Structure 1
Amino acid sequence: MPDQNFPSINANKIRVITQVLTTALKLWLRTQVSQVSQLEVEIRASDRQILSGRIPLVSIFATHAVYQGLLITQIQIVAENIRINIGSVLKGQPLRLLETVSVVGELTIDEKDLNASISSDLLSTAFNDVLVKLLPEYFPEFQPINWQKILLDNQQIILCGIPATNSKTTSLEICVGLQLLNGHELQLTHIPIKHNQEPLLEGSHVYNLDLGSDVDIQELTLIPGKLVCCGRINVNP
């Protein structure tokens, strides 16, 4: 039913505007990822809100979305208080955010999808940075690791790799306990490292990883074969 404050705009026209907006939003979402298998978008807004370019709530569900080389098995999010360039969208131009949007949701990554993403810059850079911090004398910044396999266990990640610049075939295994320290900081604990099955770093060690002020993780769960993350993130224009 059309908003009474817009008597000259009938229900059919509002439906067309909503369809155009939904299509534009899907196109914008697809520009944020390099690949997505399933994408569902639901817009909840009144006629007045749609015409003013303000959307109180958008619900998004996607499967097998690839973001910066990372394959996300499933993601379900809700974004609130969105302000967009509705006038330009109705003229066929790309959708653009006009303000920072707060997004709440749940992200799931299966072990097989994580392994399919193991060569991505996002993961390899993060893993190598941790290794350089822990053992700078053994693995300097200019000696990257070719990561071969990731295993997910109860609140634990096991990484297996081979030093890229080593002329001999050597193996590296890192066992990392993962805990949520606060909303934007992860704590990697008890990090034994084996080099060719020989202990290189033993005992209990701690490394904190700051994800930035735009991230607020409320729950992080690691179970055999799966990682689940719930929280909030700010999406900037």
Structure 2
Amino acid sequence: MSVTVPSTPPSDRRDPKAESAPQATRRQWVSRLLSRAVSLWLKAQVESLDELHVEIAARDRQIFGGILPWISLKASGVVYRGLHLSAVEMHATNIRVNLSEIVRGKPLQLLEPVRAEAWVVWQVLDLNASLQAPLLAEALDDLFAPALATIAPDGTRTALSYSHASLEPGQLCLSGSRDGDRFTLKTPLDPGDGRFLSFGAPSLTWEGQATEIALAPFTVDLGDQVRIDHLDITLEAIACRGHLEITA
């Protein structure tokens, strides 16, 4: 893990001789304190990660006021609530934190919601490692169980179990079972206008049957805290770029 706080931009630098030693020492101390608080806060949000790089850009007055005008983080090997992510990159601006409490040893807190730009890569290996995570399993069940129930002989909704995930250009493929009957589910993903994720024309194939069953397309409202600007699905990974609001 590495954390850096860039120097004040060249146009705003003062003559080093004009800066008192106590002021320079205080700035360095607060910078290190904020850097450590930010890294600890980030690590507390996830279960584990392999690498983390944090970069903060701020002038002295902003640092002393608990304002981080620009922050960037890059992480790899992230596990969040059972979801495995190959790479995560985020950029945020105008972050207000509780500096007065941080200097007394308290953990960092956000004083107001932060709007961040995010880029996430979800490789096939990560996707399969995440299938049993409650967060993903519950989401998949909520998404597809109603559609599968409509074609069940008795119209019931029973638990689904997903055992394998793969990717094709533009679409997600899931293999699993329901009451011992194995199936393969394929669905394109389209972010639409950013807030609504569209599952267009999903298709279902039961094991031993060559005929695909067309399911009704549907959309999911991601809420006003998330916006997907770009979604790319290849054979190797799902890459997503967008914005989200952080309130924790």
Query: 1:9-88, aligned counterparts within 5 Å?
Result: 9-88=22-101
Distance 2:156 2:32 in 1: 53
Q: Equivalent residue for 1:145?
A: 160
**TM-score, reference length from structure 1:** 0.90
- Would you say the 8 A contact 1:41–1:61 is kept in 2? yes
What's the CA shift string for 1:187-212, capped at 9, x where partnerless? 11121112223368623631101111
Q: CA deviation at 1:7?
A: 6.4
User: 3-state DSSP class of the match of 2:149?
Assistant: coil
State the partner residue of 1:160.
Answer: 175
- What aligned pairs does 1:84-99 form with structure 2 within 5 A after superposition? 84-99=97-112
Q: Which segments of 5 or more consecutive residues in structure 2 lack a partner in the other structure?
A: 1-6
Give yes or no for contact 1:192–1:199 (8 Å, CA) kept in 2: no
CA distance in 1, matches of 2:69, 2:129: 36
Distance in 2, matches of 1:209 and 1:40, equals 33
TM-score for both structures, normalised by structure 2: 0.86
SS of the residue aligned with 1:92? Answer: coil
Q: Which amino acid aligns with 2:94?
A: N
Q: Report SS of the residue matched to 1:30.
A: helix
Structure 1 residues 162 and 135, CA, compared in 2 at 3 Å: closer, same or farther? closer
* Equivalent residue for 2:243, pick from 224, 232, 235: 232
Deviations 1:4-37 (A, max 9, x none): 8x96852122112111111111111111100111
RMSD over aligned Cα atoms? 2.1
Tell whether the 8 Å contact from 2:145 to 2:160 is kept in structure 1 after alignment: no
Secondary structure of the corresponding residue to residue 135 of structure 1 = helix
Moved more, 197-206 or 225-234: 197-206
The match for 1:195 among 203, 206, 214 is 206
1:96 maps to amino acid: Q
SS of structure 2 residue aligned to 1:190: coil
Q: What is the match of residue 136 of structure 2?
A: 123
Is this contact kept in 1: 2:90–2:117, CA < 8 A? yes
3-state SS of the aligned residue for 1:187?
A: strand
- Hey, what's the Cα distance between the residues in 1 that align with 2:244 and 2:166? 26
Runs of 4+ in structure 1 deviating by more than 3 angstroms, as ranges, are 1-4, 6-9
The 1-side partners of 2:36 and 2:200 are apart by: 45
The partner residue of 2:232 within 211, 218, 221 is: 221
What CA deviation, in whole Å up to 9, does each residue of 1:129-174 have, x standing for no partner? 1212313343755x222210010110111100122xx2xx321110
Name the SS of the counterpart of 1:197 in structure 2: coil
Change (3 A) 1:162 1:203: closer
Provide the secondary structure at the position in 2 that maps to 1:28. Answer: helix
* Residues in 2 aligned to 1:9 and 1:233: alpha-carbon distance in whole angstroms: 39
* Paired-residue identity, %: 27
Partners of 1:201 and 1:98 in 2: CA distance: 52
Deviation at 1:181, TM superposition (A): 1.4
CA contact (8 A) 1:191 1:201 kept: no
Q: 1:210 to 1:199 in 2, by over 3 A?
A: farther
- Structure 1: gaps spanning 5 or more residues: none
Aligned residues, how many? 231
Q: Give the aligned partner of residue 205 of structure 1.
A: 216
Q: Name the SS for the 2:102 alignment partner.
A: helix
Q: 1:56·1:81 contact (CA, 8 Å) conserved in 2?
A: yes
- 8 Å Cα contact 1:132-1:140 kept in structure 2: no
